[in-house]
Amino acid sequence: MTAAEPSAAAPVTVVTGANSGIGRATAVHLAAHGHTVYGTVRATAKTDKLLAMADQAGVEVRLVELDVADDDSVRRGFEQILDAAGRVDHLVNNAGVGGNGVAEESSPALYLDVMNVNLCGAVRCLQAVLPQMRGRGSGTIVNITSIAGRIAAVAQQPYVASKWAFEGMSEGLAQELAPFGIRVAIVEPGVTKSAIFAKSIDAPNATGAYDAPYRRMFQFYAAGLAQATDPFEVGEVVRHAIETDEPQLRYQVSWGGAELVEGRARMDDQEWVAMGALTDDGHYYRRFHEHFALDIAPR
């Protein structure tokens, strides 16, 4: 690292998956609010947009090459950060991948690949920072899950499974770390402007039996992307979760976030299953609007 040593007064914050979308916006936003930010990326040679955004904001995001899916890469990356900064005050576990598919058509290998990034990647990173956080008796772990960690988004079984697992791990982690003065915050974005949606276009439908779930999944995202939230709004929620004097465990943000969580909480399980049994798309979209106050019907 050629960058100057971080100020002792500035919090040192690591944002994983900082090269695009929510991670990029969060890294730049925190840097603009006085954090010394280390952004992890899989390849520092492909960070032109991140560096340009940081330059435009007049801030620095210090790049660290790190693949959250690999034990040795995570170990080397955090050794580099701790050698340069001396500590990590806050970790934002943002790195993640999508994973489309209904259960019948999603291989165990796909589940494991998605889980390795979305769950195990976060575990690798928090294990790298928690010993020194415990030693100081302070710190924050912000886990960016998804609204799909609270409601089973149709035809995205590997992604949903990974995010539900990430939610459960995070909830348990909050109790485990409370005695050490370390805060855990779970940020649950709905549909946010991000490259992950452009990359998540798989609809295998290998059996030909699942036209409706795939069609409805893509229609939900088409409607959401038309109203998608700026990722800097997620960055501001992350900053608030770190800095607030009145912390809470979970934060919903972005299009559909609160509506989906609250709507599912009002539904009983029979209503949930019955909605999936609807054969007519128009009827499905109307019922979706009744439960969640979100209009996802095609225009």
| Max intra-chain CA distance, the chain | 61
pLDDT, averaged in runs of 10, over the chain (299 residues): 60 97 98 98 95 98 98 98 98 97 96 98 98 98 97 96 98 98 98 72 82 95 94 98 98 97 97 97 98 96
pLDDT of residue 204: 76
Tell me the CA distances in angstroms from 82 to 134, 163, 219, 284, one per residue in order: 15, 28, 44, 51
Domain edges within the chain: 12-211+229-256
Q: How far apart are CA 211 and CA 220, in angstroms?
A: 14
Residues with catalytic annotation? 159
Name the residue with tokens 């660290």.
Answer: 64
> Residues 189, 257: contact at Cβ < 8 Å?
yes
> Residues 13, 35: contact at Cβ < 8 Å?
yes
Element (DSSP H or E) covering residue 238: helix 231-243
CATH class of 12-211+229-256: alpha beta
Q: How far apart are CA 94 and CA 192, in angstroms?
A: 13
pLDDT of residue 2: 37
Tell me the CA distances in angstroms from 19 to 51, 159, 177, 184, 231, one per residue in order: 9, 20, 29, 23, 13
Q: How far apart are CA 64 and CA 57, in angstroms?
A: 20
Q: Which residues contact 47 (CB under 8 A, 6 or more apart)?
A: 19, 41, 63
> Residues 15, 38: contact at Cβ < 8 Å?
yes
Q: Are strands 61-65 and 90-93 parallel, antiparallel or unpaired?
A: unpaired
Q: How far apart are the first and last CA of the chain?
A: 51
Token duo for residue 164: 């539900």
Element (DSSP H or E) covering residue 170: helix 157-177
Amino acid at 298: P
pLDDT of residue 205: 79
Q: How far apart are CA 56 and CA 21, in angstroms?
A: 16
Q: How far apart are CA 253 and CA 237, in angstroms?
A: 8
Q: pTM of the predicted model, to two decimals?
A: 0.94
